[in-house]
Structure 1
Amino acid sequence: MATTRITLSPRETQLRNLLLDVARFIDESKEIKENIELRFAGGWVRDKLLNIESHDIDTAINVMTGDSFCLKMKDYLENEENLRKHSLEPEDIGSLHKILAKPEKSKHLETVTTKLFGFDLDFVNLRKETYSEDSRNPQMEFGTAIEDADRRDATINALFYNLHSDEVEDFVGGLVDLKAQRIRTPMEPEQTFKDDPLRVLRLIRFASRLDFTIDAESEKWMSNATVMEALKLKISRERVGVEVEKMLKGNDPRSSLQYFDRLGLYSTIFTDPTAKDFPVPSTDNWSIVYDCLHALKANETPGSIYHALVRSEDAKYNSWLLAALAPWASIPNPPQSGPKPPILFGTRVIQEGIKANSKICNLVNGAFKNYAQLTELKNAVVEGLALIHERDTVGMRIRKWNVDGGNWRLQALFALLVEVMGRVGSQGVPLSTVLSEWQGLIDHLESMDIMDAPAEKPLIDGKMLMAEFNAKGGVWTKGALDICMAWQLRNPGATSPEDLKAALEEVRKKSDELQIPMKK
């Protein structure tokens, strides 16, 4: 076993002293034959050695479940003298929340979460795992620190800080790998990934987050056909979605997509595993897409493409998700076979492949539905067509796209990325040419003050229309409201009563066409 030292912060020291006192309190009760040993495990230890601040601490216990230990800790803290000794107020003690393992999936796993000294703590026993052929849910039982280290996904996540010896313990070579900036599995990678294929994604996430490399033997098995098939079918797509989200919200999402690309994982991750004979798009030019988005993000200056189109933290994540889905734009959508239009392939991938929420699915659906129309508008600007100066025509298109999928700006970004994949990747057009054209679209829309057309508040609503025309509401109101909004977009800043009359007059001119049902 290799060891090293770390320096605890005052709050970490405070936490350590409290937990050691609780361990002594349990030992002195003689209720447990063996002495209690406490270890901080996994990610906190890794981050501490990398000088990365972390407030999430997993505490591993040798001979007690997390539930049993925390009940004893609660007894210890009911003594006011102990509270004063550790400078604790009653409100400093977070409520204990117990997580019971499902009995059919594991044994003796009772995790308790709580908050102490500003840290989010999980308490659970050291354990070893036994896997069956058809499930990633292992049978668990009490284990040693070595067995607990062996079951983890990466050696750098298998380090322990022993609270009693005040040392970092390394049973699997994690300290060497940390120094080498290497991601490696504690056990043989073949067995590691076949036991739990989700570890493939976890290793990619940590490599991207820490800017580490994955060792060659692990990479070989990560792209093994049997492992990829198990990842596709054995792992719940919700869990896949969680890992993908963490990657794309991380500090280097491009690196994660590069791993997917290089290891041939694309069709394993971005697919509909519920469908037979689901198509597989080409990823030959996909690298141009994620490299392009990375380059755009590097320039967030006011007026730039990225600054104009990606305007929130959620939008940053969704932009990478759209970049990941760009290859699906090359696959023709299924033909309509019934009264309802078919679900677009890109939407199915996001719904079934990573189980995204309805808001994201709506955005993806709009992006795939509208990217050709957005490209047409960009081309109209490039060609200088007359319609680009019609504020109502352009504004109403933007409002429609926004209704279709929400966040029309991200839909425009998707259209840009799809065009980059085609024109730059397949036709050899310089990337600078394509980006210059899209920058021209943004500059033109900014000059028209039309980028925020979806946020334009209507001056006239349905009630006003029904009162003006003494008519019942119905299908006609949507058409009438569109006429009023188009007038409003043609006449920015017009708000006087006379202006409203002019807008209503536009509706009156088309009353026959709208078939307004006048009351008698």
Structure 2
Amino acid sequence: MSSPQGPQLNLTPQEEEVCEVLRQVVHTLSMTQKSDRMNPPLVIRIAGGWVRDKLLGLACHDLDIAASSMTGAELAEAVVQWLEAQGKETRSVGKISVNPERSKHLETATTWVAGLPIDFVHLRNETYGEDSRIPTTVAFGTPEQDAYRRDITINALFYNIHSRQVEDFVGTGLKDLRDHRVRTPLPPIETFMDDPLRILRCIRFTCRFHFALDPATYEAMCLPQVQEALARKISRERIGVEVTKMLRGPGPTEALKLLHRAGLFPIVFEAAGVPIIDPKVSLDTATALYKIIQGSPEDAKVLLGMVGSGDAEGAGSWEETIYLAAALWHLRGQDVSRGKKEISAASVVIKESLKLSNAQADCITGLFLAQTHVEELIQTTGHDRVKLGLAIREMGRHPHVGPAWRLALPLHLAGRMAQGSSEISLEPYLDLLKEIEEQDLSHTYELKYAIDGKAMAKALGIPLGFWIRDILENYVIPWQLARGPLIQDTERDNLGPLCMKWIMEKQEEIKAYAEKAGQKAKEAAVADAERRKKEKQTRKKQHIHD
């Protein structure tokens, strides 16, 4: 099959240099290698997303080079050798091994050309088994075979560096790009049953570009056997990766709604023991959140702390974090048993269903817990500085929340909007943030104690224990906050001695606090020992009975 000749592309100088280097490499190889029916001449194409994005007028720096008759590693080595012969700067060839869990079904070689990172593979043909999305065989293929094995038609386009034209071997890729349509090259059931991950990729690209999803493709992803294949053949890690990309993209709420409409929401967000709750409130919350952020971009930036400072600590981008929190809003307040512990249902979904990080789970759990503080703060004005500072401190000190405590505000607003109230305004939230900034309280979660806990315990004559931290939090931190913005505190160097003096003035109260805490700890230890004793006796009886 000959390729339909498509449009030419306007390449950047760097991209043109890459193509010229590749053409020269092919020419050099042709001088030393014989071409015949058994060894056809080498043809090099740029594949996939780069071609699509160039046609859409979007910048793309991910160049995937597909070779017709040699492996990616062989071509990459030939490129480096040619560059060295020309006296040009080179880098070593890296090899990305086969890793099906990351959609790497054949070895990829990578190096740099003209200042751009380039991946090299060969055109391939794949066959699949019944129980896995991992190909049973991967062999050299024709351009047609390579194009038809791809997920969607707009990702199946090639740019032939020799003819300098786009090639559309499936015959509908260019038209679908013009018509803003997402569909599969092969019949969708066949495509999805081969690799069900393509279901989620179809949804992601539909929402990323705000394209229309082909009706036949949508109907296929709704079929029970296709959804069963998704649940059975695709690892939770890969599902988590696709969901993360959806939430980071331009259409997060559109993606969540499409997952729900297609009946995929339970499959994507399922976890053992997590209660089955209608996610409508989550979809409504995500929709409201999107309206807040997109409807008032400048106000949203203020609300999010100029975006960058609102990133969660190690928990991903703010977009990913806040939209994932919205997606799981229906699980807020729900706990699940794991061993002898009760942990939040949302945390279980994040760690077990999506296989995302503990940091992500901790952050979103913290944002849910922060809603109580936000509710109280929004309902009042003219806040006491100490109470306001302590609220920010408690929100931000939850593991992996930090500056992302700000995300609790738009989440709270979106949650209220999802309940149907039409009189909710952004102003109280902006006013609250302004008050927090003016009083220099936005980073109270980082505030260090003015005195050392051990030194305080020694001065008071009380034993060390968990109550020392409680005393520091309930006495020392409020004392520090009450002194006003520390940046203006002329007594900063003398803060420790001043605080210790104040502590000694309150020593009777603090000693009583420590004594009471110690007594509670002893009672808890006795109760725990008694519980363990009973459990041991029960196990012994069961063993005798067995």
Listed as ranges, the matches of 1:420-459 within 5 Å are 420-421=414-415, 424-425=417-418, 428-430=420-422, 432-433=423-424, 435=426, 438=429, 441-442=432-433, 445=436, 449-459=440-450
Structure 2 counterpart of 1:5: 8
Structure 1 residues 14 and 404, CA gap change in structure 2 (3 angstroms): closer
- For residues 300 and 176 of structure 2, the distance between their equivalents in structure 1, rounded to whole angstroms, comes to 43
1:242 Cα deviation after fit: 1.4
- For residues 369 and 403 of structure 1, the distance between their equivalents in structure 2, rounded to whole angstroms, comes to 12
Structure 1 counterpart of 2:291: 295
- For residues 13 and 443 of structure 2, the distance between their equivalents in structure 1, rounded to whole angstroms, comes to 49
Structure 1 residues 143 and 462, CA gap change in structure 2 (3 angstroms): same
Structure 1 counterpart of 2:530: none
Question: Which amino acid counterpart does residue 41 of structure 1 have in structure 2?
Answer: A
Structure 2 counterpart of 1:63: 69
Partner of 1:22, secondary structure, is helix
- For residues 484 and 424 of structure 1, the distance between their equivalents in structure 2, rounded to whole angstroms, comes to 38
Q: Residue 50 in 1 paired to residue 56 in 2?
A: yes
1:249-288 alpha-carbon deviations (Å, 9 max, x no partner):
223323322322332322122222xx2x643221233332
Listed as ranges, the matches of 1:348-367 within 5 Å are 348-367=348-367
1:41 Cα deviation after fit: 0.5
Structure 2 counterpart of 1:14: 17
Structure 2 counterpart of 1:392: 386
- For residues 352 and 503 of structure 1, the distance between their equivalents in structure 2, rounded to whole angstroms, comes to 48
Structure 1 residues 159 and 243, CA gap change in structure 2 (3 angstroms): same
1:195 Cα deviation after fit: 1.0
1:445-465 alpha-carbon deviations (Å, 9 max, x no partner):
556553432133322222442
Structure 1 residues 322 and 409, CA gap change in structure 2 (3 angstroms): farther
Partner of 1:454, secondary structure, is helix
- For residues 182 and 24 of structure 1, the distance between their equivalents in structure 2, rounded to whole angstroms, comes to 38
Q: Residue 225 in 1 paired to residue 224 in 2?
A: yes
Structure 2 counterpart of 1:97: 94
Whether contact under 8 Å (1:371, 1:414) holds in the other structure is: yes
1:77 Cα deviation after fit: 3.3
Whether contact under 8 Å (1:202, 1:243) holds in the other structure is: yes
Question: Which amino acid counterpart does residue 213 of structure 2 have in structure 1?
Answer: I
Between 21-30 and 115-124, report the one with greater CA deviation. 21-30
Partner of 1:285, secondary structure, is helix
1:402-421 alpha-carbon deviations (Å, 9 max, x no partner):
33344377557457646754
- TM score, norm. by length of structure 2: 0.81
Partner of 1:45, secondary structure, is helix
Structure 1 counterpart of 2:396: 402
Structure 1 counterpart of 2:527: none
Whether contact under 8 Å (1:309, 1:410) holds in the other structure is: no
- For residues 5 and 309 of structure 1, the distance between their equivalents in structure 2, rounded to whole angstroms, comes to 40
Structure 1 residues 72 and 424, CA gap change in structure 2 (3 angstroms): closer
1:297-340 alpha-carbon deviations (Å, 9 max, x no partner):
132436987345954352232111111111222x7434x697x4
Question: Which amino acid counterpart does residue 355 of structure 2 have in structure 1?
Answer: K
Whether contact under 8 Å (2:451, 2:500) holds in the other structure is: no
- For residues 409 and 304 of structure 2, the distance between their equivalents in structure 1, rounded to whole angstroms, comes to 16
Structure 1 counterpart of 2:179: 180
The sequence identity of aligned pairs, in percent, is 34
Structure 1 residues 358 and 67, CA gap change in structure 2 (3 angstroms): same
Structure 2 counterpart of 1:23: 26
Question: Which amino acid counterpart does residue 169 of structure 2 have in structure 1?
Answer: F
Partner of 1:281, secondary structure, is coil
1:154 Cα deviation after fit: 0.8
Question: Which amino acid counterpart does residue 404 of structure 1 have in structure 2?
Answer: H
1:8-60 alpha-carbon deviations (Å, 9 max, x no partner):
22222221121112112222222662211111111111111112111111111
Between 290-299 and 141-150, report the one with greater CA deviation. 290-299
Listed as ranges, the matches of 1:273-352 within 5 Å are 275=272, 278-298=274-294, 299-301=296-298, 306-308=303-305, 311-313=309-311, 314-329=317-332, 332-334=334-336, 340-352=340-352
Structure 1 counterpart of 2:150: 152
Whether contact under 8 Å (1:374, 1:412) holds in the other structure is: no
Whether contact under 8 Å (2:64, 2:120) holds in the other structure is: yes
Whether contact under 8 Å (2:99, 2:105) holds in the other structure is: no
- For residues 409 and 438 of structure 1, the distance between their equivalents in structure 2, rounded to whole angstroms, comes to 16
Structure 2 counterpart of 1:254: 253
